[in-house]
């Protein structure tokens, strides 16, 4: 295992078992907030999307957003949870300026969803990770700490636009056994919520956040060790790195005869270390009590069943189907299901083209490469499945070569034009006329006596220089198979 930071250098983890449980917060994709009508979209001038309810002004009353409830239940269903027929909201009391009421409306002893699981694959091994609970709560405001870090910040600015956005908290059992496994779990969880259509899960915009609980114990020990909770990771990579550091730190403390203190620790991405912040509040410190301003949530089996039926196909099922229906290898199915939009794009194209593997190669290859290079999302570019198919048809018909197609695709990607129009305008049609190519072949032979000589002496590779010359002359448009055949005809077998 690669270890970050000094503390972890030289620590031998082989005698120890790592135990990890995650608490993940996911913002739900509703148009309005969970207990008021304010808009939820990201951005906007600070403190412009607020009202008496989400600012917690005295006398204001919350009303539950039906869509938020539906999405929370669908999150639970997508994670194989049992949905509670009766649940309620509770007040979680704590004083922190991002929470103007001095309590957060959350759920305590009767959460909406419980006892679920998510299956992942880690290094070829199937693992089932238990989901303890999924509950609905309100998002807090955003604190903007001045200075370089929260630890030494001189003052804090507050933006309440985010306060009251519906949030689900997903809590896992302490079933994860390595930092890598935690990262893989998060990647799959992200896909599940995105496929379920309940969140856009953009970690960089903070719509998915993760706190990680971690402890270590000697291998063979069945009791859990004392855990720490690590916060402030901004990417799945960071979660893995923070946990690698923290596991090694804990082992180093224990092996030198020390004790782990139960505490919250802050991940410092730049320094690659975790630092203690404050000792973890015990649950009773929050003085949870039932929220008197909201009625309990009562769900009929029919309602739950209806929402279950509405759930779209989830990533695991989709991967299976892509392999079965289109004959794709597992690797392709995995890549194509990294987002629902990408899977939809592939399928829409594959339905219009006879060679699904070729579609998959182009989507995984050129399309993803350009998206990554431009830092764009699929819905921000002009290439549609139908336009990709248009390009593939030109390759299949022999109108353009594979190399030319890549060039054409880049232009399609940038301009949104049809492949055929670009090929026509730039005169990129492949030259497949035998007479034209034969003449170019003769010219290449005449101009490269050395290559011809060594080919005739048996060095078959020397023919490459001749092919290259023809391709250069035609700016890559000569049909390569034809060039090869005509060259061989003209030169005869090597050694003759
Ligand atoms: P707390 O009371 O501190 O909130 P919980 O029992 O509610 O702790 O668990 C919170 C999270 O921590 C869960 O994801 C759980 O799986 C995980 N967890 C609990 N105990 C441990 C442990 N000893 N080591 C690692 N993770 C743990
Ligand atoms: Zn509001
Ligand atoms: Mg807890």
409 and 327 share one domain: yes
Q: Is 356 in the pocket of ligand 1 (CB under 6 A)?
A: no
447 occurs within a structural domain: yes
Q: To test the ligand 1 pocket, which listed residue (79, 174, 225) has its Cβ within 8 A of the most ligand atoms?
A: 174
**Interval between CA 314 and ligand 3 midpoint (Å):** 28
Cα of 143 from ligand 2 centre, angstroms: 18
Burial of 460 (0-12, 13-18, 19+ CB in 10 A): exposed
* Residue 8 confidence (pLDDT) above 80: no
Considering only CA atoms, which residue is closest to atom 4 of ligand 1? 283
Residue 178 in tokens: 């390595």
Q: Which residue has the tokens 């448009």?
A: 477
Tell me the CATH number at 466: 1.10.10.410
Q: Whole-angstrom Cα distance, residue 476 to residue 426?
A: 13
Q: What dihedral angle (degrees, nearest 10) is formed by the CA atoms of 129, 134, 137, 139?
A: 20
Please check whether residue 362 lies inside any domain of the structure.
yes
Same domain, 396 and 471: no
Distance CA 245, CA 3 (A): 6
Average pLDDT (43-71) is: 94
The most confident of 62-66, 409-413, 427-431, 462-466, by mean pLDDT:
62-66
- Per residue in 84-95, pLDDT (tens digit) is 999 999 999 988
> Is there a single domain that holds both residue 318 and residue 295?
no
| Largest interatomic CA distance in the chain | 99
pLDDT (mean) for 457-465: 85
The pLDDT confidence band at residue 5, using thresholds 50, 70 and 90, is very low
What is the Å distance from ligand 3's center to 110 Cα? Answer: 13
How, if at all, do strands 297-298 and 86-87 pair?
A: antiparallel
Which helix (H) or strand (E) segment is 491 a member of? helix 480-491
Q: Is 21 in the pocket of ligand 1 (CB under 6 A)?
A: yes
Q: What is the pTM of this model?
A: 0.85
The count of residues in the chain is 496
Residues 330 and 450 in one domain: no
pLDDT value of position 1: 42
Mean pLDDT of 435-446: 89
Do residues 299 and 327 lie in contact, with contact meaning Cβ atoms separated by under 8 Å? no
Q: Which atom of ligand 1 lies at the shortest distance from residue 282's CA?
A: 2
The segment with the largest mean pLDDT, out of 42-51, 176-185, 436-445, is 176-185
Same domain, 229 and 131: yes
Residue 28 Cα, ligand 1 centroid: separation in angstroms? 24
Q: What is the pLDDT of residue 495?
A: 52
Asked if 31 and 109 sit in the same domain, the reply is: yes
- Distance CA(71)–CA(28), nearest Å, equals 7
Residues 230 and 359 both lie in one domain = no
CB 193 within 8 A of CB 75: yes
79 vs 189: CA distance, rounded Å: 9
Ligand 1 atom, smallest distance to 215 CA: 24
- CB of 70 sitting under 6 A from ligand 1: no
Question: 164 C-alpha to center of ligand 1: Å?
Answer: 26
Span 388-436, pLDDT tens digits: 999 999 999 888 888 889 999 999 999 889 999 998 888 888 887 888 8
- Can you tell me which atom of ligand 1 is nearest the CA of 175? 16
User: Does the residue 1 lie in any domain?
Assistant: no
For the segment 103-120, what is each residue's pLDDT rounded down to a tens digit?
999 999 999 999 999 999
Domain boundary among 249, 277, 302: 302
- Calpha distance 74→196 (Å, rounded): 7
Supply 347's token pair: 């399928």
Is the separation of the CB atoms in 166 and 38 below 8 Å?
no
CA distance 297 to 85: 8
Q: Mind giving me the DSSP string for 274-290?
A: EEEEEEPPPGGGG--EE
Same domain, 217 and 189: yes
The answer to whether residues 430 and 479 touch, using CB atoms and an 8 Å cutoff, is yes
| Residue 210 belongs to domain spanning | 6-302
Q: Are residues 106 and 137 in the same domain?
A: yes
Q: Are 176 and 22 contacting, i.e. CB atoms less than 8 angstroms apart?
A: yes
Instruction: Using the atom order of ligand 1, give the atom closest to the CA of residue 225.
Output: 23
The answer to whether position 235 is within a domain reads yes
Structure tokens at 229: 């909770």
> Tokens 């957003």 identify what position?
65
Q: Identify whether residues 395 and 346 lie together within a single domain.
A: yes
Instruction: Determine the pLDDT at residue 4.
Output: 44
User: How many domains is the chain partitioned into structurally?
Assistant: 3
Say how far apart CA 116 and CA 190 lie, in whole Å: 16
Whole-angstrom distance, CA of residue 165 vs CA of residue 68: 9
Q: Could you give the CA distance from residue 393 to residue 354 in angstroms, rounded to a whole number?
A: 10
- The pLDDT tens digits for 175-215 are 999 999 999 999 999 999 999 999 988 776 778 899 999 99
In terms of phi and psi (left: phi > 0; alpha: psi -120 to 50; beta: otherwise), the region of 419 is alpha
Rounded CA separation 437/469 (Å): 12
Q: Does a structural domain hold residue 458?
A: yes
Q: Which ligand sits nearest to residue 32's alpha carbon?
A: 2
Angle CA(403)–CA(405)–CA(409) in degrees, nearest 5?
125
Mark which of 388, 408, 426 sits at the end of a domain.
426
Mean pLDDT (the chain) is 91
**For the CA of 47, the nearest ligand:** 2
CB of 22 within 6 A of ligand 1: the answer is: yes
pLDDT tens, residue by residue, 322-346? 999 999 999 999 999 999 999 999 9
Q: Is the CB of 172 under 6 A from ligand 1?
A: yes
User: Looking at residue 283, what is its pLDDT?
Assistant: 47
What pLDDT, on a 0 to 100 scale, did the predictor assign at position 51?
95
Q: CB of 350 within 8 A of CB of 328?
A: no
Measured distance CA(44)–CA(145) in Å, rounded: 19
CA 135 to ligand 2 center in whole angstroms = 21
Residue nearest to atom 2 of ligand 1 (CA): 283
- Assigned domain for 145 exists: yes
- Whether 74 is covered by a domain: the verdict is yes
The ligand placed nearest to the CA atom of residue 36 is 2
Q: Give the end-to-end CA distance of the chain in Å, rounded to a whole number.
A: 58
Q: Is residue 227 part of a domain?
A: yes
Q: Indicate whether 291 and 328 sit together in one domain.
A: no
φ, ψ for residue 266 (rounded to 5)? -105, 125
Query: Is 19's pLDDT higher than 70?
Result: yes
For a ligand 1 pocket test, name from 213, 230, 265, 281 the mutation site with the most ligand atoms within 8 angstroms of its C-beta.
213
Mutate to test the pocket of ligand 1, among 17, 21, 211, 264 (most ligand atoms within 8 A of CB): 21
Q: Is 227 in the pocket of ligand 1 (CB under 6 A)?
A: yes
* Rounded-to-integer distance, Cα 210 and Cα 24, Å: 4
Q: What percent of the chain has pLDDT over 70?
A: 95
| Mean pLDDT across 473-486 | 85
Joined together, the tokens standing for residue 303 give 């309602």
Domain boundary among 255, 275, 302: 302
Nearest residue CA, atom 13 of ligand 1?
A: 21
Same domain assignment for residues 296 and 324: no
Residue 111 near ligand 1, beta carbon < 6 Å: no
Query: How far is ligand 1, taken at its centre, from the CA of residue 57, in Å?
Result: 34
pLDDT (tens digit, 9 = 90+) per residue, 293-317?
A: 999 999 999 999 999 999 999 999 9
Is the minimum distance from the CB of 53 to ligand 1 under 6 angstroms?
Answer: no
- pLDDT grade, residue 244 (50/70/90)? very high
């Amino acid at each position: 295992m690669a270890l970050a930071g000094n503390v972890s250098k030289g620590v031998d983890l082989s005698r120890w078992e790592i135990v990890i449980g995650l608490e993940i917060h996911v913002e739900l994709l509703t148009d309005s907030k969970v207990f008021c009508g304010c808009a939820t979209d990201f951005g906007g001038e600070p403190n412009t999307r607020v009202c008496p309810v989400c600012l917690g002004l005295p006398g204001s009353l919350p009303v539950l957003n039906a869509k938020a409830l539906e999405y929370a239940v669908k999150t639970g269903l997508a994670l194989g949870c049992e949905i509670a027929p009766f649940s309620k909201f509770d007040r979680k009391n704590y004083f922190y300026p991002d929470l103007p009421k001095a309590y957060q409306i959350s759920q305590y002893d009767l959460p909406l969803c419980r006892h679920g699981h998510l299956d992942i694959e880690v290094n070829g091994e199937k693992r089932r990770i238990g989901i303890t609970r999924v509950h609905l709560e309100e998002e807090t405001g955003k604190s903007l700490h001045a200075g370089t870090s929260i630890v030494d910040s001189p003052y804090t600015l507050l933006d309440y636009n985010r306060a009251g956005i519906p949030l689900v908290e997903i809590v896992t059992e302490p079933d994860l056994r390595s930092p890598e496994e935690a990262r893989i779990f998060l990647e799959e969880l992200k896909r599940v919520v995105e496929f379920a259509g309940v969140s856009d899960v953009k970690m960089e915009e903070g719509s998915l956040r993760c706190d990680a609980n971690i402890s270590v114990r000697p291998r063979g020990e069945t009791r859990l060790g004392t855990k720490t909770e690590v916060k402030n990771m901004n990417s799945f990579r960071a979660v893995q790195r923070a946990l690698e550091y923290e596991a090694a730190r804990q082992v180093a403390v224990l092996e030198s005869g020390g004790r782990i203190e139960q505490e919250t620790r802050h991940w410092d991405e730049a320094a690659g270390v975790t630092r203690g912040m404050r000792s973890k509040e015990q649950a009773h410190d929050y003085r949870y009590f039932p929220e008197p301003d909201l009625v309990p949530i009562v769900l009929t089996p029919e309602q739950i069943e209806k929402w279950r039926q509405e759930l779209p196909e989830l990533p695991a099922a989709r991967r299976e189907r892509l392999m079965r229906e289109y004959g794709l290898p597992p690797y392709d199915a995995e890549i194509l299901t990294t987002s629902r939009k990408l899977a939809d794009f592939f399928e829409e194209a594959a339905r219009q083209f006879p060679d699904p593997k070729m579609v998959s190669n182009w989507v995984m290859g050129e399309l993803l490469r350009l998206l990554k290079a431009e830092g764009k999302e699929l819905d921000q570019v002009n290439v549609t499945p139908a336009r990709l198919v248009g390009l593939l048809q030109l390759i299949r018909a022999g109108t353009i070569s594979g190399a030319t197609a890549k060039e054409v695709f880049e232009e399609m990607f940038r301009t949104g034009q049809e492949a055929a129009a670009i090929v026509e305008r730039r005169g990129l049609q492949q030259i497949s006329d035998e007479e034209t190519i034969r003449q170019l072949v003769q010219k290449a032979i005449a101009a490269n006596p050395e290559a011809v000589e060594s080919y005739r002496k048996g060095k078959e590779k020397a023919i490459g220089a001749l092919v290259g010359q023809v391709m250069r002359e035609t700016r890559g448009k000569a049909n390569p198979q034809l060039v090869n055949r005509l060259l061989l005809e003209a030169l005869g077998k090597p050694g003759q």
